[in-house]
Amino acid sequence: MAEDTYEGEGPWFPGRGARETPSKTALINATTGETRTYEELDVLANKTSQLLVSRGVAPGGHVCLWFDNVIDFPAFWWGGHYAGAYFTLISARLTPGETAYIINDSGSSLVLLGARQEDEGGEELRALLSGDVTCLADVPGEGGLRFQLDSMPAQPLEARSEGLPLLYSSGTTGKPKAVKRPMSGAPLGTASTSVKLAGLFGLDESAIYLSPAPLYHAAPYGYISAITALGGTGVMMTRFDAEGFLEAIERYRVTHAQVVPTMFVRLLALPDEVRARYDLSSLRCVFHAAAPCPVPVKQQMMDWLGPIIHEYYSGTEGVGMTYCAPEDWLAHPGSVGTTMFSELHIVDDEGNELPAGHDGLVYFAGMGTFEYLNDPEQTKASHHEQGWATYGDIGHVDEDGYLYLTDRRSDLILVGGVNVYPQEAENLLISHPKVLDAAVFGIPHPEFGEEVKAVVQVAPGIEPDQALEAELLDFCHESLAGVKCPRSIDFRAELPREPNGKLLKRLLRDEYRANAEEGTS
């Protein structure tokens, strides 16, 4: 597929909307009802860029942003774009200590933070920062962020080039690490990858795009940026709520939405009468990524919404991607599509390329380079000697070139010398009507090295007991080889997931392995 997938003309940034349709609604907070016009968005972004420069954040400099999904969050990061700076969007779920680690690791000299963050952890955060770091909180008074912004000119900076996000991983395998890509030096408004993908999803100035996920994650940030660059309307939710998601589609006549597979599961768990209560006829496209989607879950969503569900596979590192249109997925169920903007390579443990049908580490080439900030060893481990780069996923392609993801390399379970990828059992368990969420991982075993363990969150109204455990184990053995099946299942009220859908399996593994070492498992 051609790289130039959007047929419109730039430049792509909110300033264009401010010139052409200044009073048009650019942003809506569906939870609070607040709105911002394109003129308001662009003025605040200009003022933010002026503030950054006045505080010494020159092009290539760095600023951290620590906010909930508040209405002006996008204006603050657009200010970073306008200033040609690196900007880090910090998870609103992090503690002050975790946030301080990211700020110190990034070398940021300026932090903008929300009112809640200041109230609940601002003092502790400042005490943990190293070096000369200024924190400006969105609180009333002369020392607050708004007071500082009010004193800034609303005019654009004289010279503007594209800034870049410097985003940190979710910490699924340890300490969060930052993905740093080189500055292009391109003029402000140069099309980003998200803007280039707009044509695939039909995003344009007429679109109303709903983002129910936290905006500090890569994809929600990218597509709120894209919709405000294109001149459409972006709708955000403070937090995902399944019925609230349907209500927002009806209320705002949403045309496009991005979700993660766990949201599909929550939506399908709604009673039939709730799902039928809302008018979803405005919806033209739903797209998803971030985590594998079980085939039965996606098929049920297709049956409900129709063939409007698009999928892509990529990562914060931005080294490659695949795309799967609805009709392609229906012809290749379970696939994440074919490659775009990049070349795809499947490689064995010795670094040799594998033919179709064989699982190996998935590498990409051709979409640019990156490094993990302050971690040259991890950077090297993510690159092939040919210069290709990987997100760390295992998969294979079929004869038509469609990619199927098997699992994360880091999640591999070694049972008596046999490689077991737990994603297969997870997907199967989630398809059971009594299961809302599932995690499968390896725990120590005295004879086989590891054994397969499952932890399950049951569906509403279901009682977790030994009978259910036996039922689920039998369910697994009906479809999977014995070595792939969990030997036992525990039940939890909720599994540790990031709001972007990523399962924090490391937390469960660490807990069970610690218990094994203490002799309590």
Q: Are the beta carbons of 97 and 122 closer than 8 angstroms? A: no
For domain 191-310, is the CATH number 3.40.50.2000?
no
Give the span between the Cα atoms of 174 and 179, in whole angstroms.
15
DSSP H helices, 349-465, are 376-381, 423-430
Domain ranges of the chain: 39-188, 191-310, 317-409, 412-517
Taking residues 105-133, what's their average pLDDT?
96
Mean confidence (pLDDT) of the chain: 92
Mean pLDDT is lowest, of 73-82, 95-104, 493-502, for 493-502
What residues contact residue 273 under an 8 Å CB cut-off, 6+ apart? none
Dihedral Cα 42, 251, 292, 86, nearest 10 deg:
10
* Topology (CATH) of 317-409: Luciferase; domain 3 (2.30.38)
CATH superfamily of 412-517: ANL, C-terminal domain (3.30.300.30)
122, with CB counted inside 10 A (0-12, 13-18, 19+), is buried
389: nearest Cα among 316, 462, 337: 316
Tokens representing residue 433 in the block: 């009507």
How many alpha carbons fall within 13 Å on the CB side of residue 393?
24
The pLDDT value recorded for residue 171 is: 53
Give the span between the Cα atoms of 513 and 521, in whole angstroms.
8
Give the span between the Cα atoms of 356 and 302, in whole angstroms.
28
229-284: pLDDT as tens digits: 999 999 999 999 999 999 999 999 999 999 988 899 899 999 999 999 999 999 99
The pLDDT value recorded for residue 170 is: 62
CA angle 371, 372, 378 (to 5 degrees): 105
User: Over 80: is that where the pLDDT of 456 sits?
Assistant: yes
Q: Write the DSSP symbol of residue 64.
A: E
397-451: pLDDT as tens digits: 999 999 999 888 888 898 877 778 898 899 999 999 999 999 999 998 877 788 9
For domain 39-188, is the CATH number 3.50.50.60?
no
181-231: pLDDT as tens digits: 999 889 999 988 888 888 889 999 999 999 999 999 999 999 999 999 999
Taking residues 64-68, what's their average pLDDT?
98
Q: Which H, E and C letters describe 193-261, residue by residue?
A: HHHHHHHHHCCCCCCEEEECCCCCCHHHHHHHHHHHHHCCEEEECCCCCHHHHHHHHHHHCCCEEEECH
In angstroms, the first-to-last Cα distance of the chain is 51
Distances (CA, A) of 42 to 45, 83, 123, 156, 374: 5, 13, 31, 9, 34
Q: Are the beta carbons of 233 and 205 closer than 8 angstroms? A: no
Q: Write the DSSP symbol of residue 96.
A: H
The pLDDT value recorded for residue 174 is: 61
Report phi then psi at 254, rounded to 5. -60, 135
The DSSP bridge partners found for residue 420 are 413
Q: pTM score, two decimals?
A: 0.85
Query: Is-same-fold flag (39-188; 191-310)?
Result: yes
